[in-house]
Structure 1
Amino acid sequence: MKYVLALLLAVALAPAQAALDWETALNGDQRSAENKARDSSRHPRQTLEFFGIEEGMTVVELSPGGGWYTEVLAPLVAPNGQLYAAHFGMNLSSNAYFRNALGGFLQKLASNNDLYGPVKVTQLAPPDEVTVAPAGSADLIVAFRNIHSWMRMGSLDATLAAAFTALKPGGVLGIVQHRAPSGDDPAEMARSGYVTEAYVIAAAEKAGFKLDARSEINANPRDTADHANGVWSLPPALRGGDEDRARFEAIGESDRMTLRFVKPA
């Protein structure tokens, strides 16, 4: 009985885990009205909770682009954790797209040092630059709609290997990707942006990951994934201009798989 009472007292006196600051993450001034409007399609809170984000974690965002998810992640991770943003490598600066994307991202971070000051920018440019975070340091690594780009650049295997190295045993790799309902042609997947779940799972398992769970959080059954301009036919890109614009706007953003993998302990 004394042991039980002591255990109950210890639990009662243990400090409660700090709550994640979802209010700032989703509604803070760092986010534009345009970005907030996309929450209904991207479901950032539900997605990150599915991946298992917790206070105090070390989190790596792979290929963060313009920083849409960085705006959400920084308030969640910065207080007691560490956020790494693995962006394009400096050695790719000869490519105008890479240079402009990295420059814009760094400007975003510099615009709000209180929020983004703790974010550590690393370089992801296989095969030379693949240390996205110190080996075995990350609790969670996330990748949002990047698989097709890595396929196009021939860097998917190296990128997944880099994530595997950076994760702790038992750590999580969370992937959101435009979903093709069928198909086995990697070149077409890279062109269209739509990739099959089977292809993503096989690539992750090849790197050593184990599929832990799937979610339909980011599913869109209206998307047939067979558009002339691929995923960029849909909002927000609407690459076809006024042609079929109303139809594509009615579809909304793409159908997406949401997969959680673990690095075996």
Structure 2
Amino acid sequence: MRALWSTGFVIAALCVSRLTAASDIKPYLASALADPARAADTKDDARRKPGPMLAFSGVKPGDKIVDLIPGGGYFTRILSKAVGDKGHVFVVWPNEYAKESHPDPENSKKLAATPGYGNITVLEQPAAAFSTPEPVDMVLTVQNYHDYPDVFMGKVDPVAFDRAVFESLKPGGIFLVVDHVAAAGSGLRDTDTLHRVDPAIVKKELAEAGFEFVGESDALRNPADDHTKKVFDPAIRGHTDQFIYKFQRPK
């Protein structure tokens, strides 16, 4: 039994690696990554791994995507070019988060008004009232899932939030959650202090909301991170251990 388990574990690990391999980056995504307009962002590509991450997500031309709490627009720019003229990117700023993030919300609006990025719409809404104007193919949140239960966001019930995301997706739609790993068994304990979340509680909450867990990528894993430091600590900032989980609304 031990040998069989070990073999299965190795196969699973190889599958995860395959999903994050450079060979999985389709031409349209490679073109989006090479967009000259994002030249200033490319210095961060080696550590943020946008190619493997978005290849794993399955984003494709024509998709309608939500970039939830987009920060400086790093992924917004890539997604806009990846989905193309027939696709759309809805940038969602929860009002509570936007108050803490100036000038990022204003910069999202400037990007949407920039020639070549006309497929971007910026939405501002209460954190507890996530919604989209139409059903979408994917919702992406990078390093912000852990914020929802915190005081500054109004202590949003994560499962209620997950259900709202579920309702926004088309059948078969994807919720891609990327966040900083907290210690195993810690649940939501460290969300407002270390800005981390236990991957196990994320899986549990998403399952309660009706999602199916369909895979993970190890592109951002870092075994050197012991999960005890605040993510802004200079010793680990920019190199935290992060999970990339892919959830699906059943078809």
TM-score in terms of structure 1 length = 0.76
**Contact conserved, 1:88 with 1:98, CA < 8 A, in 2?**
no
Q: Secondary structure at the match of 2:103?
A: helix
Larger radius of gyration: 1
Structure 1 residue 55: Cα displacement: 1.8
- Between 1:189-198 and 1:24-33, the stretch displaced more is 24-33
Cα separation, 1, equivalents of 2:136 and 2:109: 22
Q: How far is the alpha carbon of 1:176 from its aligned partner?
A: 0.8
Distance 1:46 1:24 in 2: 14
Asked if 1 retains the 8 angstrom alpha-carbon contact of 2:183 and 2:228, the reply is no
Give the 5 Å matches for 1:44-63: 44-63=50-69
State whether residues 164 and 207 of structure 1, in contact with CA within 8 Å, keep that contact through their aligned partners in structure 2.
yes
Partner of 1:186: 188
The alignment of Structure 1 onto Structure 2 pairs a total of residues equal to 222
Alignment of 1:165-244 (within 5 A): 165-227=167-229, 230-233=230-233, 238=234
Q: 1:97 aligns with which of 97, 100, 111?
A: 100
Q: Quote the residue 1:125 is aligned against.
A: 126
1:93-138 Cα offsets, whole Å, 9 max, x none, are 9x7425533223212333x222x212122234233x422342xx21
Task: Give 1:23 deviation, angstroms.
Answer: 4.1
What's the offset of the Cα at 1:184? 2.3
SS at match of 1:50: helix
Query: How many angstroms apart in 1 are the aligned matches of 2:57 and 2:102?
Result: 30
Q: Which of these residues, 132, 135, 149, is aligned with residue 147 of structure 2? A: 149
Structure 1 position 45, deviation (Å) = 1.3
Structure 2 counterpart of 1:178, one-letter code:
H
Q: Deviations over 1:176-226 (max 9, x none)?
A: 111123232524233211111101111111211111112211111121121
CA contact (8 A) 1:126 1:158 kept: no
Distance 2:88 2:186 in 1: 38
Q: Aligned with 1:47: secondary structure?
A: helix
What does residue 92 of structure 2 align with?
86
1:18-68 CA distance string (max 9 Å, x none):
x653344212232143x2122111111111111111221111111112211
Change over 3 Å in CA distance of 1:207–1:133 after alignment to 2: farther
Could you tell me whether the CA contact under 8 Å between 1:209 and 1:264 is conserved in 2?
yes
Structure 1: gaps (5+ residues): 1-18, 239-247
Q: Match of 2:136?
A: 138
Q: Secondary structure at the match of 2:146?
A: helix
- Which residue number corresponds to residue 13 of structure 1? none
Which contiguous aligned blocks of 4+ residues in structure 1 show a shift greater than 6 angstroms?
none
**What is residue 255 of structure 1 aligned with on the other side?**
241
RMSD: 2.3
